[in-house]
Structure 1
Amino acid sequence: MATDQTNSASMPGRYASALFELAKEQGSVEQIEADLKAFESLLTESEDLRRLVASPVFAAEDQSRALSALLEKAGISGLTENFLQVITHNRRLFAVPQMIKIFAALAAESRGEVTAEVTTAQALTDELTAELKQTLKNAVGKDVKLDARVEPAILGGLIVKIGSKMIDSSLRTKLTAMKVSLKAVS
């Protein structure tokens, strides 16, 4: 299932795989994963950073200088900093969000974990989270890390996606199916 997420033949997959192999050789997979997660948080929080990363208008040198200052302030250094500078120099910074996801999937796979994307109408309690993790672990035979999102538009129930498999038991989907069935009857 993790191979569905990693797609190492893609450009982001090749970069993430190379970083993962280097991190594994240096025994720093957890540190690189934490650094990338911190950088991803910075991306989520800053519209300016997202624009800098995504826009081809900025010269690689300008992106590199801005990135250096940001990484120093965030305490991200070593292999992670070098990696981000290389992809900036190679004009691939726009793909860093996909690279981060692929790296995380590779790291999880190496630990024997799978990631389940879970969407619910309301935040899950700790008890429900533990129960869902155990149920998914029994179903897939591996430890499961939950990536939970709240989306009130699904009205109730939940949507679980692991790799390319998805289970949609949301109330919105059930109501839509019922509406289609009623139209077919009339």
Structure 2
Amino acid sequence: MASRDLSGLARRYAAALFDLSEADKSLDATEKALERLEEALASSPELTALINDVRLSRSDQGAALAAVAKELRLPKQVASFLGVLAANGRAAALPDTIAAFRTRLAAHRGEATAEIIAAHKLTKAQEKAIAQKLKGRTGRDMHLDVRVDPSILGGLIVRIGSEQIDNSVKTRLERLGARMKGL
């Protein structure tokens, strides 16, 4: 799986939401709301299809996202933000916008962001252990952006800035195969 190249568009939307949340001192509430929204996207293929469906009108997409916001009990500011994304035809940018918001919030808190790709969902204890190991390596508190990609078979791929540590089973098998061809 390729690294997310967060578009300037997603960063701009995230910056706007960050600035609004910072101004009204609701950064923590916005972060929690975006986490719930991200969990809903991860667990609902229908929701993912909804934000990516170019056949839906902007108003229909906005109405559907408003219903999602109500169901998830998202704060008014986040619900309004979803409406703006839909009205501007940018709902598909939501996952990258959430990631960009998280990156900006981590920088605001003096943390670094590590992108973790795992074959299976990690437990909170595993995430905490990884964050501690990375803090020991970098000297900075780490915010983890964890995604699941079963194609790596096992292990982890960790990216911090331009550094990548690929300890996935898939990569190890590919290296072993390459060495065996050389025999």
- When the two structures are superposed, what TM-score results if normalisation uses the length of structure 2? 0.81
* Aligned ranges 1:3-152 → 2 under 5 Å: 10-119=8-117, 130-148=128-146
17-26 vs 133-142, greater mean Cα deviation: 133-142
Q: Which has the larger radius of gyration?
A: 1
The percentage of counterpart residues that share the same residue type is 36
Shift of the 61–116 alpha-carbon distance from structure 1 to 2, 3 Å rule, reads same
In structure 1, runs of 5+ residues without a counterpart are: none
Residue deviations 1:50-71 (CA, integer Å, cap 9, x gap):
2221111111111122222221
In structure 2, runs of 5+ residues without a counterpart are: none
Would you say the 8 A contact 2:99–2:145 is kept in 1? Answer: no
Write the distance in 2 (CA, Å) between the matches of 1:5 and 1:122.
19
Write the distance in 2 (CA, Å) between the matches of 1:156 and 1:57.
37
Q: Does the residue aligned with 1:161 lie in a helix, a strand or coil?
A: strand
- Which position in structure 1 is the counterpart of 2:160? 162
Cα deviation for residue 135 of structure 1 reads 2.6
Would you say the 8 A contact 1:120–1:150 is kept in 2? Answer: yes
- When the two structures are superposed, what TM-score results if normalisation uses the length of structure 1? 0.80
Q: Does the residue aligned with 1:115 lie in a helix, a strand or coil?
A: strand
Bigger relative contact order (CA 8 A; separation at least 6): 1
Shift of the 33–174 alpha-carbon distance from structure 1 to 2, 3 Å rule, reads same
Q: Does the residue aligned with 2:36 lie in a helix, a strand or coil?
A: helix
Q: Does the residue aligned with 1:159 lie in a helix, a strand or coil?
A: strand
Residue deviations 1:90-149 (CA, integer Å, cap 9, x gap):
111111111011101111111112232334567778776555333311222211133456
Aligned length: 181
Write the distance in 1 (CA, Å) between the matches of 2:123 and 2:42.
24
After TM superposition, which residue ranges in structure 1, 4 or more long, deviate above 4 angstroms?
4-7, 119-131, 147-157
Q: CA RMSD in A?
A: 2.9
Q: Which amino acid aligns with 1:36?
A: L
Write the distance in 2 (CA, Å) between the matches of 1:14 and 1:56.
22
